[in-house]
């Protein structure tokens, strides 16, 4: 009769063994300590693969390499930049509710990935306003950029050109239209226009932008008056920064910024006459609060390139500016720097995309405000944006490390976008749809 023996049964009878049994590996008995868990003195051959000490990295290049997110660059920027220019970049209007909501909007989503797709090659290239861009993001217009770091607009335009993306120069820039074009001759440059009460001055800027090769004019329409940027008020922010007891004390912790500031060309508005005073006073004295859609008609008749309207915050206005000849809109609340509690661009985006689709409009939809990662950009594209713009995200890089810092900011966003696309199961921008993103209920 055959006897059944259960594996691991301690009461099983001992079986005869052959002469080769001693050569087999020992089998641990129940309750014994596995060999791998017994303590022993480590051998050098075990330790050698673990001892890979790297030479410590110091200096700006090493610090930038260690930055993995835009927030890391922001931390570096705060350490290296005096409070007034840092807060000018980092802050927003009044209680800064709009800015917090804009950033929170990107967190309140759920990605919905597809599986079993070939994502061995992910292409982030796209078309915007009739020309290609290697990435679906460009650099937004930012004023007073050389105040943040002495390389200013030159660093931004050169980094954008190297990355194959558009760069937008602000009317309030601290480098001229011509100098930016010369600094980045192979880049795609756009010019952002604030319409002034003096139309002849506006026309002069438009003509200079055209002669310098700018193919797109971006007119900003959300600055009838200056927003209440309370950080600037509390810091006594002026253009150029004034030397007070407070700023001198602040400078003692950030000598590199002040050395660069004092040893380079004085900070002025390259597209304006020399001006000294607060930002709010400048806006309120020079910009035109009487603008209407008739002025947009004048711009459309005057400018022969692509025309984009920035500062769109309702579906109705998006449709109306396209009816008046705009080739695209920038859904934007000025980075939260004008009207506090303004609409959140990311929330408005699907409505504008649906409206343009219903109108059979091919006008470009561009989004800014609140973008701090490549995943934010991909979410915007999925919900209907054709393109995005970054302001603070690249300025943090600029303040952290000049041109190299801007390069690092763009590289971080590109890495984020490639990873997010692959994990969503898409290999091209055109494959993104609203099904890839769900807005979470509040």
Active site residue ranges: 334
- The secondary structure of residue 35, as a DSSP letter, is G
Q: Is 127 helix (H, G, I), strand (E, B) or coil?
A: strand
Of 194, 200, 203, 138, nearest to 171 by C-alpha is 194
> Taking a C-beta distance cutoff of 8 angstroms, is the pair 339, 227 a contact?
yes
Q: Is the Cβ–Cβ distance between 216 and 194 less than 8 Å?
A: no
- Asked if residue 130 lies in contact with residue 306, where contact means CB atoms within 8 angstroms, the answer is yes
Residues 6+ apart with CB under 8 A from 299: 193, 195, 206, 217, 219, 307
Report residue 351 as tokens.
């409505």
Q: Which phi-psi region, left, alpha or beta, contains residue 334 (left: φ > 0; alpha: ψ -120 to 50)?
A: left
Q: Which residue has the tokens 């990107």?
A: 106
HEC-encoded secondary structure of 307-355 = EEEEEECCHHHHHHHHHCCCCEEEECCHHHCCCCCCCCHHHHHHHHHHH
Alpha carbon 344 to its chain's center: 16
Residues 6+ apart with CB under 8 A from 286: 194, 196, 197, 272
Element housing 255 (H / E): helix 255-263
Taking Cα atoms as reference points, which of 74, 319, 97, 387 lies closest to residue 230? 97
CB proximity list for 333: less than 8 A, separation 6 or greater: 98, 102, 222, 311, 313, 339, 342, 343, 344, 345, 369
């Amino acid at each position: 009769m055959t006897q059944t023996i259960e594996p691991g049964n301690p009461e099983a009878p001992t079986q005869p063994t052959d002469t080769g049994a001693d050569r087999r590996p020992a089998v641990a008995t129940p309750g014994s300590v596995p060999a791998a868990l017994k303590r022993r003195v480590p051998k050098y051959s075990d330790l050698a693969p673990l001892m890979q000490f790297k030479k410590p990295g110091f200096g700006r290049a090493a610090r930038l390499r260690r930055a993995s997110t835009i927030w890391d660059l922001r931390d570096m920027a705060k350490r290296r930049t005096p409070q007034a220019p840092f807060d000018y970049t980092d802050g927003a209007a009044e209680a800064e509710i709009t800015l917090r909501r804009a950033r929170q909007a990107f967190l309140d989503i759920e990605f919905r990935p597809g599986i079993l797709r070939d994502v061995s090659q992910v292409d982030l290239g796209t078309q915007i306003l009739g020309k290609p861009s290697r990435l679906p993001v460009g650099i937004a217009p930012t004023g007073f950029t050389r105040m943040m770091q002495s390389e200013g607009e030159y660093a931004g335009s050169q980094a954008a050109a190297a990355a194959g993306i558009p760069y937008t120069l602000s009317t309030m820039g601290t480098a001229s239209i011509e100098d930016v074009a010369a600094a980045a001759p192979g880049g795609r440059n756009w010019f952002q226009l604030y319409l002034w009460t003096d139309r002849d001055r506006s026309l002069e800027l438009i003509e200079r932008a055209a002669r310098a090769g700018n193919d797109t004019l971006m007119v900003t329409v959300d600055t009838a008056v200056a927003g209440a940027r309370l950080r600037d008020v509390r810091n006594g922010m002026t253009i150029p920064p004034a030397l007070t007891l407070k700023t001198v004390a602040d400078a003692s912790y950030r000598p590199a910024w002040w050395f660069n500031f004092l040893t380079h060309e004085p900070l002025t508005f390259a597209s304006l006459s020399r001006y000294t005073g607060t930002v709010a006073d400048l806006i309120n004295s020079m910009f035109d609060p009487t603008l209407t859609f008739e002025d947009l008609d004048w711009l459309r008749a005057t400018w022969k390139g692509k025309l984009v309207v920035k500062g769109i915050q309702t579906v109705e206005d998006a449709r109306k500016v396209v009816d008046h000849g705009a080739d695209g809109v920038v859904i934007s609340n000025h980075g939260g720097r004008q009207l506090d509690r303004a609409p959140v661009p990311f929330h408005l985006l699907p409505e504008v995309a649906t409206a343009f689709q219903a109108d059979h409009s091919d006008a470009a939809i561009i989004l800014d405000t609140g973008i701090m990662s490549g995943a934010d950009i991909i979410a915007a594209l999925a919900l209907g944006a054709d393109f995005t713009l970054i302001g603070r995200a690249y300025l943090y890089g600029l303040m952290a490390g000049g041109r190299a810092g801007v390069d690092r900011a763009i590289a971080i966003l590109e890495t984020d976008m490639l990873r997010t696309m692959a994990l969503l199961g898409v290999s091209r921008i055109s494959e993104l749809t609203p099904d890839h993103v769900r807005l979470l209920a509040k």
